Amino acid sequence: MPVTRCTKMAYASADEMVFGKAVKPVKAGLGLEIGAGYTTPEVNYAPRPEAGESKEKLVKEYERITTDIMARMVQIGAPSVVLETEHVQQMSNNPEWGAAVAHAQKTIMEDYHDEYGIKCALRHTIGDIRESREYLELRGGNKYNVFMEAFEQCAQNGADMLAVESMGGKEVFDYAILRNDMPGVLYGIGVLGSMDMEMIWQDIASVAKKNNVIASGDTDCAQANTAMFIAGGLLDKNLAHTLAIIARSISAARSLVAYEAGAVGPGKDCGYENSIIKAIAGVPIAQEGKTSTCAHSDLMGNLTMQCCDLWSNESVEYHGEFGGTTVQCWAETLAYDCALMNVALDSGNEKMLRDMLAASDMYRDAQGYVLAYQNAYRVGQAIAKDGNDIYLRAKNAALESIKIVEEGARGKLELSRFESKALADAKAALEALTDDKEQFMSDCLTKYKEEVKVFKPENYGLK
């Protein structure tokens, strides 16, 4: 499928952005619409390790998970739900395993839909199995073929939406982020990541179109989330939070490529860059926040709900709790959050709730400040301005995020000396870069080819 770059904003202003509504809503699964005026819980889960010992055990585990979620949703009167199955490695390395799981899940979901009328859809997120000591393979390599076969088989066997957390550029990013090397972060996420996504998402979109399912979206979990996790909380000093939000802003330019190459949303939950992407592309998005504390902490647990269309819990291991199984407990929590958002939408109070969600977190940390919808919109504008140039738009996003943090620091956003110095150093390094994509590419290729032994330029069609 051809790539169509985004060069203008889907929304005329940031204030038009709200949860539950997207410019380009998506119909998926069994009666479900996403971004069409209501929000839906998206439950994310992981099987217990021992369940992966055989295909039969794994299928049984996912049957239990699916039945538990669907039963709890009907029990509490939730009108809709999405199930997201993030593949364990056995499922993507053995596409027939993933297919068997998808078929078993969808059969159960169809039964609940037919019996109780609950709207539902199944998302399968294929694991990026191309990673190895040699890192990413070219299209046509054996791992790439298995990777694509996993999408194909899931699409044929019940998955309504296809997604991935792709890892292009991570070998350079990992090297750069540990050295506070922001040009390297820009190269790894913004350039290499974008180039890799363009390749794989054209192929994923073709699989989806052929099988009449939804090519949903990607997330920069491998890079921007890594930076967020290294940065940690307010007591941690392993990585400045100002650098983490620069990486996140760059990641929006990269994750946008999925939609330019044929994906239609909803964007994946752990893509904290999704508010920026929704502003540019108008696609519906999943988000996670306070409901992902079973998996990690993020300093913006309310704020991320501001523009979501699906509200997710991140991944929780399947086991028992006092209130039921983990998937039942988290599904119920998500459903009540969505009920609140849906009442706000029905009563015309969605912007008031959105603003309260954003305001409750945006001054807690630089990351939340930039991702607050009104500032996320500005980062989106910076990307769209040079939307045809994957390098310049990523650089624009980085510099705009720096400008936003600087403005915030003159007001209610507090920055420590550590954070302020990191921000100033990053600004100096990024402002010193050329505006010439080819020059930047050449300089980085020479540098990282020498310094990062696992970086194979040929995997990106470079020499």
Within 169-287, residue ranges assigned H as helices are 170-177, 182-185, 194-211, 226-231, 241-255, 257-260, 274-281
pLDDT tens, residue by residue, 416-425: 999 999 999 9
CA atoms of 331 and 328, how far apart (whole Å): 5
Mean pLDDT by 10 residues, the chain (463 residues): 93 98 98 98 97 97 98 98 97 97 98 98 96 60 91 98 96 97 98 96 98 98 97 97 98 98 98 98 98 95 98 97 98 98 98 98 98 98 98 98 98 98 98 98 97 91 88
Domains delineated in the chain: 14-455 (3.20.20)
pTM (global) more than 0.85: yes
DSSP 76-111: HT-SEEEEEEEPPHHHHHSHHHHHHHHHHHHHHHHH
Longest dimension (CA), the chain: 62
- The H or E element spanning position 124 is strand 119-126
